[in-house]
Every structure is written in C-alpha cells, then in structure tokens.
C-alpha cells in the first residue's frame, strides 16, 4: 500500500470505530446525542479521506468533479434543510425518505459498476454476486421506503392495500427477479439484464410494502434500514472500499436486532407484520363505532374539572388519539395549570403508545414536558395505586385489560394498570376500537367515566372548567 492509502485505511478504521462507539452511546438518553455526534465526526473523517484518495488518483474529468461536487452540495443542502424544518411528528417519514435515498445511492453504484463492466464478457463471481445483491437490495429498499414514507405521511392510504391477483403478481415478479439474477451472474454482461433486475426489484419493493398497515410502518422502515445497510456493504465489495463494508454490515446487523426489538415491543413478530393486513383501523373513522354499551358512564368537562381540582396526584395516560388530535399543547397547558396549584402531575408512557416507538415522548418533549415527569411502564404501574385521577387521553389498547386474558389480539402485551387508580377519566371521540380492533373493558369499569370528544377540543373544555374550580 502507498503511504497515503495506509493512512486512509487506518483513518477509515478510526471512523468505523466512531460509528460503533456512537451507536453504543445511543443506548441511553444521557449519552445518545453525543453518540450521534461522534458517529458524525467519524463520517466527516471518512469523507475527507475519500477526497484525499480522489485528488491523489486524479482520474476524474472536470465534468466528473463538478457533477460530484454539485451533487454532494445539493444533497447536503436538501438533507439539512429538510431535517431542520420538519415537524417533530413528521420525523418518521423523513427518516424513511433518507433511507430510500440511501438505498437508491447504493443501487446507483451497483448500476454504475455493472455497466462499466458491460462488454459482453462473463463476470467473476466475486464481482457479480455483490453487484447483483447491491442492485436488488438497494432498489427494493428505494421503492419500499418511498411507499413507507407515503403511508407514514398519509399521502398513501395507511390501510393495507390488497387487490385480486396480488399473490399471483408477487410470484411473477419474484420469478422475473430470479431470472434477471441468473442472467447477470451466469451469462455474458448485458445492460438489458440490468434493466430487468432493476425494474423487477422496484416493483417488488412496492408490492412488499403496500399490503402492510400504516401503523406497522415503523417496523418496516427499520427493516428496510437494515436492508440498506446490507446494500451499502455490497457496494463496498463492488468498489473494494472497506469503510462501506464495515459501516454497511454494522447497520445491517444492528438494524436487524433493532427491528426484532421494535416488533417485540409491539408484541408482534416481524413475519406477521410483513405478511400484512393488520392494523387496518388507525380508528381514524369514528363512524365504525359500536353503540355505547349501557354500562358505560358518560361524564362532562365540568365534572372532570372538579375531579382534577380536588386531586392530589394526577396521572396523564396519552395514546394515539393525542397525537391524532395534535393536542399536546393542551395537555401541557392543563398540566402546568394543575402543577401551579400544587397538584402532582405525571405522564404514564407506554412503550408502544401511539404509532411509532417513542411517539409519546416525542410529542410531550415538543411541548417541554420534563423528562422525569414521563414515567415509563414499570414506574408508572407502581404509581397508579396512589393516583387519584388517571386521565386517559386517546389511549386504548395500551390500557386494555384484555391483554391479561388469553386469546385476544393483545394477549401478553404489558399494559398500563390504569384500573388500579382511584378514578379513571377517558377522553376519546366514541366507543370505537384502537389499533388492535378490540373492545376495552376498562371503559365499563366502575371507576371509569367517558368523555366523548376530540382530544384537543375536550382538553380545552377541561382546562376551562379546571380553572374555574382551582381558582375558587
């Protein structure tokens, strides 16, 4: 190795170590931010080294240099601006978009190198296998992640989309992919093989993602993220660059484990999620509501105001409905009001409340709820006994005692033991079900009363009435 390449290779190793240590530091909130920054430092090092290599090699045309620099500047600009301006709640779709473009870039590298080698001869396996994997995986994650982005953003219906003949189409596409792979690996190079592989992979990415419900998208994005990692590692094999191999394999493996953990936190299996068709509801449509069962008590904002004003300990239990109604500001306002009057207010955060991991934390952090008021599952459960009023806002499944019984859709999921508290107030629009599509016995608990309203409007009314009683 030349001295320059020696230095570059060693610095690549240092940057790889930065990614690993950075990821390690992201395990706990305290060091997470510095971990991400360390990882970014490693990335900057890797890019600088790459420029050194490029300058030293001096093989590029002026056009090549210009296009590359313009491309990088454009990409960085777009990425940074998007990342800076996106709303907190829109972050998941942005992550998915960034994942899509990463897959796209990996696929492009595969295309470039396959086409460069296309002169009608046979390829060596050590080149053709990674090139094909790079192309296929990259293209699948590109189109798949774009669909996921659309679903998360609500631009594509979150409902699992299925159509007659979907299975057949899927089978055909898989066959085409296999054929294209065989053509690329076993036969003389040919740009049409490439086009075939590319198109089939793009279609496959779409077909794989559309039958999955919007609520399962975070897990799907995580899985595609791991895929992109693998595609990048394959690109590293193709262009013989080790930092790509290391970082790609790292993300491929870490992303896989993360996906398994995310699925486990939702008490689902990854296979079950990919099979699709679950999470139809998102319960956005309250017209599907059952009739209100007779044994459910209704209550009013006024009554809730009294209860809160005379409570010592209030626990707020937020769920998907809070996010759907964008009522986080109202929650914070109510909490501040109560705290100012000497009432203890805490939040019981279920790990899978909402529609993405950490959804509730994100929402509440946006309105500056202190981290230590957000009680995670176990701690919250130990507090319900001393809670005077539990205010359940747009949460359903995460409080459903059906989880403790056998044979329900959520059996075995740990839940928030809201039923231990002295009084329960539930704010939701109707009796309709949540994500899992099952009725919630909690609502007919003796201590529970329902306030049927949109979370935002309902909270505004409750704030108004609480003020009255607090200021008396």
Stretches 299-307, 361-369, 382-390, 430-438: which one binds other proteins (CB under 8 A)? 361-369
Per-residue x/- marks for other proteins, 331-360, CB under 8 A?
-x---x--xxxxx-----x-xx---xxx--
Whichever of 353 and 431 has its CB closer to other proteins, that residue is: 353
CB closer to other proteins, 173 vs 198: 198
Instruction: Find the shortest distance in angstroms from Cβ 316 to ligand NAP.
Output: 13
| Nearest to ligand NAP of 15, 283 (CB atom) | 283
302: annotated active-site residue? no
The nearer residue to other proteins, 68 or 171, going by C-beta atoms, is 68
Residues 6+ apart with CB under 8 A from 3: none
Identify the residue among 65, 172, 174, 195 touching other proteins (CB under 8 A).
Answer: 65
Contact 244, 236 (CB under 8 A): yes
26 interacts with, out of other proteins, ligand NAP, none, CB within 5 to 8 A per kind: other proteins
320 binds, among ligand NAP, other proteins, none (CB under 5 to 8 A by kind): ligand NAP
Residue 170 interface partner, choices ligand NAP, other proteins, none, CB cut-off 5-8 Å depending on type: none
Alpha-carbon separation of residue 189 from 104, 116, 176, 196 (angstroms) = 22, 10, 17, 13
Determine contact, residues 462/305, Cβ cutoff 8 Å: yes
Q: Which residues have C-beta within 8 Å of that of residue 185, sequence separation ≥ 6?
A: 123, 125, 128, 129, 132
Return the number of the residue (308 or 324) whose C-beta is nearest ligand NAP: 324
Burial annotation 422-431 (CB, 10 A radius, 16+ → b, else e): ebbbbbbbbb
Q: Which CB sits closer to other proteins, 274 or 289? A: 274
Q: Are 43 and 15 in contact (CB under 8 A)?
A: yes
3-state secondary structure at position 311? coil
* Residue 308 in contact with other proteins, rule: CB under 8 A: no
Give the residue with the Cβ less far from other proteins, 109 or 215.
Answer: 109
Neighbouring C-beta atoms of residue 319, cutoff 10 Å: 29
Among 11, 89, 91, 423, binds other proteins (CB under 8 A): 91
Q: Burial letters for 149-163: b for 16+ Cβ neighbours within 10 Å, e otherwise?
A: bbbbbeebebbbbee
95 binds, among ligand NAP, other proteins, none (CB under 5 to 8 A by kind): other proteins
Q: What's the number of CA atoms in the CB half-sphere (13 Å) around residue 361? A: 14
DSSP secondary structure of 383-426: HGGG-SEEEEES--GGG-GGGGSSSSTTTT-----GGGSSEEEE
Stretch that binds other proteins, among 60-68, 194-202, 385-393, 429-437 (CB under 8 A): 60-68
Determine, following the binding rule CB under 8 A, whether residue 78 of this chain makes contact with other proteins: yes
Q: Which of 232, 308, 416, 424 contacts other proteins by CB under 8 A?
A: 232
3-state SS assignment for residue 375:
strand
Note whether 115 binds other proteins by CB under 8 A.
yes
Nearer to other proteins, 214 or 252 (CB): 252
Output DSSP code: residue 11. Answer: H
Each residue of 235-268: b (16+ CB within 10 Å) or e? bbbbeebebbbbbbbbbbebbbebbbebbeebbb
Tell me if 116 contacts other proteins by CB under 8 A. yes
The three-state secondary structure class of 448 is strand
Residue 394 interacts with, from other proteins, ligand NAP, none (CB under 5-8 Å by kind)? ligand NAP
Taking CB within 5 to 8 Å according to partner kind, which of other proteins, ligand NAP, none is near residue 428?
A: ligand NAP
Min dist CB 241 to other proteins, Å, is: 6
Interface with other proteins includes 162 (CB under 8 A)?
A: no
Catalytic residue among 113, 282, 397, 454: 397
Least Å distance between CB 151 and ligand NAP?
Answer: 12
218 binds other proteins (CB under 8 A): yes
CA distance 14 to 375: 38
For residue 462, what are its two tokens? 């409750």
**Residue 210: CB minimum distance to ligand NAP, A:** 17
CB neighbours of 117 closer than 8 A, spacing ≥ 6? 123, 127, 189
**With CB cut-offs between 5 and 8 Å by kind, which of ligand NAP, other proteins, none does residue 33 bind?**
other proteins
Enumerate binding residues for ligand NAP (CB under 6 A).
215-216, 218, 266, 279, 283, 286, 319-321, 324-325, 352-357, 359, 394-398, 428-430, 432-436, 454-455
- 323 close to 89: Cβ distance less than 8 angstroms: yes
Please state the closest distance from residue 242 (CB atom) to other proteins, in A.
6
- The number of angstroms, rounded, from the C-alpha of 245 to the middle of its chain's C-alpha atoms is 25
State the catalytic residues: 397
């Amino acid at each position: 190795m030349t001295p320059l390449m020696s230095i570059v290779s060693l610095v690549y190793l240092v940057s790889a170590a930065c990614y690993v240590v950075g990821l390690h530091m992201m395990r706990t909130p305290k060091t997470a931010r510095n971990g991400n920054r360390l990882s970014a430092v490693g990335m900057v090092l890797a890019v600088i080294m790459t420029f050194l290599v490029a300058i030293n090699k001096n093989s590029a045309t002026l056009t090549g240099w210009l296009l590359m620099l313009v491309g990088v500047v454009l990409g960085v600009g777009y990425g940074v601006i998007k990342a800076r301006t996106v709303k907190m709640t829109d972050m998941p779709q942005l992550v998915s978009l960034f994942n899509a473009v990463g897959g796209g870039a990996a696929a492009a590298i595969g295309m470039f190198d396959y086409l460069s080698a296309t002169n009608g001869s046979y390829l060596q396996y050590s080149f053709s296998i990674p090139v094909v994997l790079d192309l296929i995986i990259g293209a699948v994650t590109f189109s798949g992640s774009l669909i996921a982005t659309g679903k998360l953003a609500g631009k594509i219906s979150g409902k699992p989309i299925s159509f007659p003949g979907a299975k057949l189409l899927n089978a055909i596409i898989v066959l085409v992919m296999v054929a294209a792979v065989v053509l690329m690996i076993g036969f003389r190079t040919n740009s049409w093989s490439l086009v075939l592989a590319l198109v089939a992979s793009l279609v496959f990415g779409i077909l794989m993602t559309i039958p999955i419900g919007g609520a399962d998208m975070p897990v799907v994005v995580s899985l595609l993220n791991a895929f992109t990692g693998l595609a990048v590692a394959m690109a590293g094999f193709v262009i013989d660059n080790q930092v790509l191999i290391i970082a790609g394999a790292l993300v491929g493996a870490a992303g896989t484990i993360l996906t398994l953990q995310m699925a486990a936190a939702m008490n689902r299996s990854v296979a079950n999620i990919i099979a699709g068709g679950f999470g139809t509801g998102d319960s956005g449509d309250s017209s599907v509501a059952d009739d209100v069962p007779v044994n459910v008590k209704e209550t009013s904002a006024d009554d809730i105001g009294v209860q809160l004003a005379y409570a010592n300990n209030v626990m707020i239990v937020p769920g998907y409905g809070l996010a759907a109604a964008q009522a986080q500001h109202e929650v914070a306002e109510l909490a501040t009001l109560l705290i100012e009057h000497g009432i203890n207010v805490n939040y019981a955060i279920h790990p899978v409340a909402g529609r993405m991991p950490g959804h509730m934390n994100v929402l509440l952090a946006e309105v500056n709820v202190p981290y230590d008021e957000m009680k995670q599952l176990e701690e919250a459960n130990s507090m319900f006994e001393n809670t005077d009023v539990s205010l359940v806002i747009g949460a359903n499944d995460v409080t459903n005692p059906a989880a403790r019984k056998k044979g329900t859709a959520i059996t075995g999921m740990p839940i928030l033991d809201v039923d231990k508290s002295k009084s329960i107030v539930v704010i939701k629009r109707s009796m309709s079900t949540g994500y899992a599509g099952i009725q919630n016995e909690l609502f007919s608990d003796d201590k529970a009363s329902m306030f049927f309203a949109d979370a935002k409007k309902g909270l505004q009314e409750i704030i108004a009435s609480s003020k009255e009683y607090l200021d008396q």
